[in-house]
Amino acid sequence: MEIAFIFAKELAQAGLVITSGFAAGIDAASHKGAVADAGKTIAVMGTGLNQIYPAYHANLAQKILGSGGVLLSEFPLEAKGAIWHFPLRNRIISGLSMGALVVEATVRSGSLITARLANEQGREVFAIPGSIYNPQARGCHHLIRQGAKLVEQPADILEELRGFAGLLQPKILDAKNFQEKNKLDREHRKLLDCIGFEITTIDVLVMRTSWPVQQISTMLLELELQEFIKSVAGGYIRAGS
């Protein structure tokens, strides 16, 4: 959800309108990222416009409208969400878009339906890779094997959309990596290479580097301050590229 938020925020800053499905999780994070800096977003709902679902998205709906975005539904105003509504509305999400980005998905995810529809509609398909141990990343890996563009930072998407450069903000097109990183010395780079995108404990880092705990702890703090890694319950994970 953090990645979805950041991508949506930066792409909205570049002048793109973020389209998603208004569901809990990555959909909501995408809408929130878009409106975080007064960007625009389209929420394609699986219910009627008078039936906000989930109900706690009422504030999010107001923020979307307040930033110049749109709530969109093909269902009657009072229609409640039926199971079949949600995959049906995916064709509208992809059809409205220049491209579809899959942030995370299992191999049986509804997001893959959206990706298939986007491909059939002649849209670009993008996917963010994840850990090989994470079942939530397997859908993205499947898409990449099928030819979706592997995406690591918002600039990767903007590069593919240069044909629409008139719609985009030049300062973002020429921008930055996903996060600007300071150069690391050899030892810090070695330690960083020992930290995965799954939780890595200090004990594991001691085993992988053969360095004393005190040295590793100091270097971990330095890497965290530079936003290469994040401290989480049980250890550390990569924060970006």
State how far the Cα of 178 lies from the Cα of 32, in Å rounded to an integer: 18
Number of residues in the chain: 241
The percentage of residues in the chain with a pLDDT greater than 90, rounded to a whole number, is 69
**Whole-model pTM over 0.75:** no
Of 69-83, 89-103, 129-143, 161-175, the poorest mean pLDDT is in 161-175
Does 206 lie in the same domain as 168?
no
**pLDDT, the chain, mean:** 89
CATH number reported for the structural domain that contains residue 207 in this entry: 1.10.10.10
Task: Give the domain range for residue 213.
Answer: 186-238
Find out whether the peptide bond into 129 is cis, omega within 30 degrees of 0.
Answer: no
pLDDT above 60 (res 135): yes
pLDDT (mean) for 195-202: 87
Does 118 lie in the same domain as 60?
yes
- Quote the DSSP letter at residue 173: H
pLDDT above 50 (res 88): yes
CATH number reported for the structural domain that contains residue 66 in this entry: 3.40.50.450
Question: Per residue in 27-86, pLDDT tens?
Answer: 999 999 999 988 999 999 999 999 999 999 999 999 999 999 999 999 999 999 899 999
Q: How many domains does one find in the chain? A: 2
List, in order, residues 6 or more apart from 149 with CB less than 8 Å away: 124, 125, 126, 127, 156, 160
Last residue of a domain, one of 148, 173, 198: 173
Does 135 lie in the same domain as 191?
no
Is 181 inside any structural domain? no
* Residue 129 half-sphere exposure toward CB, CA atoms < 13 A: 13
Is 178 inside any structural domain? no
